[in-house]
């Protein structure tokens, strides 16, 4: 992998560049499309390519569970298996330590909301305070009957009811110094990921850019826990790097991941430690405050070496893309465009809309009059409304094409504005209209 910087903005952080991999190049900044299980949900690779996506990011945990690393290896690798011949990334599975652990059943997202913190206390907060660093993996038995009692079930509860309900409350991941123990979300079987195991699987999957194994913490976690998780992530980074250097057959680049939650000192410490390791690039992960993701990104990028690419994991929204790029991010990935598309939300220049709203039933205009994606070129809002209400599969396809085009193309427009020296004007105009 090679990274080159074409132009830097006057603020000393933002840059236009290019990442070159053995499967082609990525003009940065760029939005990387998420294809967790070796498919971008509801889209063929041809559609993903046509809408302008440059690269796809898949997930180690999910591909390890299904179809399994042996099949991934025998298939000839991710590119061949899924028929995507452009650049690819794999996430290490570290995010699942959060989404299946602390965040499970807990309404926690990796984005914290300062205005609404009291009502949402993550269980990681409640349980990590002991001597162990384990994330609590089950609710206590004394809590279970409360849950059942509120389920409005009139009949007497059977033993199988109890087992089912308790099982339902169980978390699927817990963290130890050596790695993360996972319960398969598919069949409940137990698996253990270490940094070495994650890298080994990622070698078998064969993406161009792979990530070190890390722990993504809840935004509700205390400073002490974030520090503890960060230190552990640093030790895991070194183990990931050592294993990669010993075992990779060339062609795959390894990115280290900066953690540190919402805290400036932790973020800077993490950037320094990870930045000094011999990674090919960096991921910035973990939890952020909603209002200033980019502030945290700025802290980190001022410390990271400039000559290597920085990927902001799991972000974002249009405003986050501007903020991230302005503060030195080269690539992003995010499930939002495809997930909200499947649920009926569509991006427009004037903000998000919900195509299922009654007003679109007879609206024969385009979803976004200024959009030139395949969907907007050929279909009306009324037709999309009909497909969603009829629960037709193509609703997901057309909506995903639109949302991905919107986000991928927005980043391309940002890139163009940077080259023309009009980044800040473009940002202001876009945000003013989108969030009005």
- The residue ranges that bind RNA (CB under 7 A) are 34, 36, 40-41, 57, 59, 62, 91-92, 94-96, 98-100, 104-105, 109-111, 152, 168, 172, 185, 211, 214, 216, 257, 283, 285-286, 290, 313-317, 320, 333-336, 338-340, 342-345, 352, 354, 356-359, 361, 389, 391, 393, 396
Cα separation values, 2 from 210, 281, 283, 356, 386, Å: 14, 10, 16, 44, 46
333 is catalytic: yes
Out of 320, 330, 333, 368, pick the active-site residue.
Answer: 333
Would you say 342 or 412 has its CB closer to RNA? 342
Would you say 211 or 423 has its CB closer to RNA? 211
Question: Burial letters for 12-49: b for 16+ Cβ neighbours within 10 Å, e otherwise?
Answer: ebbbbbbbebebebbebbbbbbbbbebbbbbbebebbb
Would you say 5 or 380 has its CB closer to RNA? 380
Would you say 73 or 339 has its CB closer to RNA? 339
d(CA 150, CA 278): 53
Q: How far is the CB of 85 from RNA (least distance, A)?
A: 20
SS (H, E, C) 361-423: CCCCCCCCCCCCCHHHHHCCHHHHHHHHHCCCHHHHHHHHHHHHHHHHHHHHHHHHHHHCCCH
Q: How far is the CB of 216 from RNA (least distance, A)?
A: 2
Would you say 7 or 162 has its CB closer to RNA? 162
Strands 345-346 vs 310-312: parallel, antiparallel or unpaired = unpaired
Would you say 320 or 368 has its CB closer to RNA? 320
- Tell me 205's DSSP state: H
292 is catalytic: no
SS (H, E, C) 55-103: CEEEEHHHHHHCCCHHHHHHCCCHHHHHCCCCCEEEECCCHHHHHHHHC
Q: Compute φ and ψ for 332, nearest 5 degrees.
A: -130, 160
Q: How far is the CB of 46 from RNA (least distance, A)?
A: 17
Would you say 129 or 359 has its CB closer to RNA? 359
Q: How far is the CB of 396 from RNA (least distance, A)?
A: 6
Q: Look up residue 367 and give its two tokens.
A: 């979803």
d(CA 241, CA 237): 6
Q: How far is the CB of 10 from RNA (least distance, A)?
A: 26
Q: Tell me if residue 134 falls in helix, strand or coil.
A: coil
Q: Contact, 108 vs 122, CB < 8 A?
A: yes
Would you say 12 or 351 has its CB closer to RNA? 351
Q: How far is the CB of 335 from RNA (least distance, A)?
A: 3
Contacts of residue 209, Cβ cutoff 8 Å, sequence gap at least 6:
1, 19, 21, 87, 88, 89, 90, 252, 253, 254, 255, 280, 281, 311
Strands 2-8 vs 15-21: parallel, antiparallel or unpaired = antiparallel
Cα separation values, 326 from 25, 98, 315, Å: 22, 28, 14
Most distant pair of Cα atoms in the chain: their distance: 70
Out of 91, 208, 214, 320, pick the active-site residue.
Answer: 91
Would you say 94 or 122 has its CB closer to RNA? 94
Q: Look up residue 415 and give its two tokens.
A: 């890139």
Q: How far is the CB of 211 from RNA (least distance, A)?
A: 5
Q: How far is the CB of 109 from RNA (least distance, A)?
A: 3
- DSSP string over 207-271: -SEEE----PPPTTS-HHHHHHHHHHHHHHHHHHHHHHHHH--SS-EEEEEE--TT-HHHHHHHH
By annotation, the residues acting in catalysis are 91, 333
């Amino acid at each position: 992998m090679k990274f080159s910087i074409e132009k830097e903005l006057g603020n000393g952080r933002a840059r236009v560049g290019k990442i070159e991999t053995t499967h082609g190049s990525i003009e940065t900044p760029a939005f990387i499309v998420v294809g967790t299980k070796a498919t971008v949900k509801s889209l063929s690779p041809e559609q993903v390519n046509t809408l302008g996506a440059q690269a796809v990011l898949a997930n180690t945990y999910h591909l390890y569970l299904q179809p399994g690393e042996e099949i991934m290896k025998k298939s000839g690798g991710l590119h061949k298996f899924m028929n995507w011949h452009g650049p690819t990334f794999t996430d290490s599975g570290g995010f699942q330590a959060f989404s299946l652990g602390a965040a499970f059943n807990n309404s926690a997202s990796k984005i914290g909301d300062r205005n609404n913190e009291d009502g949402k206390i993550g269980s990681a907060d409640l349980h990590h305070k002991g001597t162990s660093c384990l994330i609590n993996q089950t609710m206590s038995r004394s809590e279970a009957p409360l849950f059942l009692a509120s389920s409005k079930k009139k009949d007497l509860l059977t033993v199988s009811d109890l087992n089912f309900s308790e099982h339902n409350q169980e978390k699927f991941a817990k963290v130890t110094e050596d790695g993360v123990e996972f319960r398969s979300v598919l069949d409940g079987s137990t698996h253990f990921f270490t940094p070495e195991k994650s890298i080994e699987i990622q070698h078998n999957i064969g993406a161009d850019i792979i990530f070190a194994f890390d722990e993504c913490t809840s935004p509700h976690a205390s400073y002490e826990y974030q520090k503890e998780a960060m230190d552990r992530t640093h030790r895991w980074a070194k183990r990931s790097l050592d294993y990669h250097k010993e075992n990779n057959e060339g062609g795959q680049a390894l990115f280290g991941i900066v953690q540190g939650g919402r805290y400036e000192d932790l973020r800077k410490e993490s950037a320094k430690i990870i930045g000094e390791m011999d990674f090919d690039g960096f991921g910035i992960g973990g939890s952020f405050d909603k209002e200033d993701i980019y502030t945290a990104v700025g802290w980190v990028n001022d410390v990271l070496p400039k000559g290597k690419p920085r990927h902001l994991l799991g972000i974002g929204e249009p405003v986050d893309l501007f903020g991230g790029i302005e503060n030195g991010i080269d690539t992003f990935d995010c499930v939002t465009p495809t997930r909200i598309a499947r649920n009926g939300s569509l991006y427009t220049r004037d903000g998000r809309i919900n195509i299922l709203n009654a007003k679109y039933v007879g609206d024969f205009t385009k979803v976004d009059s200024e959009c030139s994606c395949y969907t907007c070129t050929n279909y009306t809002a009324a037709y999309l409304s009909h497909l969603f209400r009829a629960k037709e599969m193509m609703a997901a396809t057309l909506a995903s094409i639109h949302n991905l085009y919107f986000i991928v193309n927005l980043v391309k427009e940002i890139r163009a504005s940077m080259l023309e020296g009009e980044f800040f004007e473009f940002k202001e105009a876009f945000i003013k209209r989108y969030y009005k």
